């Protein structure tokens, strides 16, 4: 490595370090310096951080079913190539057919990750003269896909988060200013079912209504990322689109398996001709090794549990926890150091504790046995820092009430410290 390149990289990292925004990979959660200070350092922290919403990583039923399936499967290791070469097996196509049926979709296409799926579909489906409108909080993978697409920057337009009026204005502007849109040029609208940082819910039915009202030619195409809603909502966990009965009004759904479903990979649910187009043009699919046999087996097993209704009481318990925790934390409000986002249309397992002191609050909660993460810029906008709380079906009422008490304790301690400081002035 040249000295100039090394200096540039080190300088960039040092800048992030100075701003306390440097990201690190660590298998210790939290860092050892904090762990060693805990009064019960050998006791596991209560998980209020991971995306294991249904607690399936702890499910002996899923584990045993998976191990039995592995032991009887003819192939379990690798996949030997990309889907277009040697990696497309009967197991892959059988699972896709099953997923299409389970999620009530015309067809299904597996991707190795939700990131790959978003990057692939947004890079190839919109044409250069199409219009893409996207919620300002959509995932980074959507942005990467749009940047790699043929759509110029001026035709990729953000609308304010969950703001139907702003979206309506953007659509009306396109209709009024572009005869091609009125006559059928495609307009894509990209949203998430549940947003990962704010834990709120997209107004999907209202967005679908808007598209049908303003684009009666049927050229409005709604794309919904269900990463944080798959497994939690809808009949047997089919997702928010299914919960609302919008399967026939959504152009494309992306359901991912790495969160509530305790696996990895994603499926794009779409019309057969869209599936064929992605097979031909989505580079992350074309040039990636296919999901391994063991991954296919894991996805089959978790969908066995979904189909049997195993996760229905888990999701019910999860959403009950969310309602309970919000009610407990609301008793501390209003407070200058704590705020909650407005209640979402549906309870969700993600509850951001908005505070100008996210690292201080996170450390305080960790020291009391609760694993949470501070979230600061650039992951969220400046002024929107928070501690992100993720709930799980296996969390107990005692754990949830303990977390709420700890937040109240922090507010009291901070208040006493502030009063002491002012008394010395």
Q: How far is CA 64 from CA 313, 314, 416, in A?
A: 20, 18, 51
pLDDT of residue 21: 78
Question: At residue 168, what are phi and psi to the nearest 5 degrees?
Answer: -60, -45
Residue of 113, 242, 255, 260 whose CA lies nearest to 192: 255
pLDDT of residue 28: 58
What number of other Cβ atoms are within 10 A of residue 267's Cβ? Answer: 26
- β-bridge pairing 350-354 and 339-340: antiparallel
CB 55 within 8 A of CB 392: yes
Low-confidence ranges of the chain (pLDDT < 70): 28-42, 418-425
pLDDT of residue 327: 98
CB 279 within 8 A of CB 84: yes
DSSP string, 186-246: -EEEEEESB-TTT--B--HHHHHHHHHHH-TTS-EEEEEE-TTTTTTSSGGG--HHHHTT-
Residue of 263, 270, 261 whose CA lies nearest to 296: 263
* Sequence-ordered list of residues with C-beta below 8 angstroms from that of 178, at least 6 positions apart, any chain: 131, 185
Predicted TM-score of the model (pTM): 0.93
Reported as a single tens digit per residue, the pLDDT across 38-48 is: 555 567 899 99
């Amino acid at each position: 490595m040249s000295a100039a390149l090394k200096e540039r990289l080190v300088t960039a990292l040092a800048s992030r370090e100075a701003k306390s925004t440097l990201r690190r990979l660590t298998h210790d959660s939290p860092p050892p310096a904090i762990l060693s200070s805990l009064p019960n350092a050998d006791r596991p922290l209560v998980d209020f951080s991971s995306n294991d919403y249904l607690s399936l990583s702890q499910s002996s039923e899923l584990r045993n079913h998976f191990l039995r399936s592995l032991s009887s499967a003819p192939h379990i290791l690798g996949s030997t190539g990309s889907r277009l070469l040697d990696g497309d097996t009967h197991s892959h196509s059988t699972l896709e057919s099953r997923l299409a049926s389970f999620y009530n979709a015309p067809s299904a296409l597996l991707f190795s990750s939700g990131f790959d799926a978003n990057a692939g579909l947004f890079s190839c489906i919109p044409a250069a003269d199409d219009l893409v409108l996207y919620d300002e909080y959509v995932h980074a993978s959507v942005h990467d896909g749009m940047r790699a697409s043929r759509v110029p920057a001026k035709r990729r337009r953000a609308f304010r988060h969950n703001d139907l009026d702003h979206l309506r204005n953007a659509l009306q502007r396109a209709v009024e200013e572009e005869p091609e849109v009125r006559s059928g040029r495609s307009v894509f609208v990209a949203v998430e079912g549940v947003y990962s940082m704010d834990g709120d819910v997209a107004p999907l039915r209202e967005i679908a209504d808007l598209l049908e009202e303003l684009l009666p030619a049927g050229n409005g195409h709604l794309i919904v990322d269900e990463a944080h809603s798959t497994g939690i909502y809808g009949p047997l966990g089919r997702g928010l689109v299914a919960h609302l009965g919008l399967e026939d009004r959504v152009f494309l759904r992306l359901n991912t398996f790495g969160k509530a479903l305790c696996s990895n990979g994603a499926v794009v649910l779409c019309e057969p001709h869209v599936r064929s187009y992605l097979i031909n043009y989505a580079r992350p699919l074309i040039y990636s090794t296919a999901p391994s046999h063991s991954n296919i087996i894991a996805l089959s097993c978790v969908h066995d549990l979904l189909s049997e209704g195993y996760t229905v009481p888990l999701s019910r318990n999860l959403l009950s926890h969310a309602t309970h925790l919000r009610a407990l934390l609301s008793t501390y409000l209003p407070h200058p150091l704590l705020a909650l986002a407005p209640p979402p249309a549906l309870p969700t397992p993600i509850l951001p504790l908005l505070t100008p002191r996210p690292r201080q609050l996170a450390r305080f909660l960790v020291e009391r046995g609760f694993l949470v993460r501070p979230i600061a810029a650039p992951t969220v906008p400046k002024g929107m820092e928070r501690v992100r709380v993720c709930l799980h079906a296996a969390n107990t009422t005692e754990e949830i009430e303990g977390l709420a008490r700890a937040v109240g304790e922090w507010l009291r301690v901070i208040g006493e410290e502030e009063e002491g400081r002012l008394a010395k002035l």
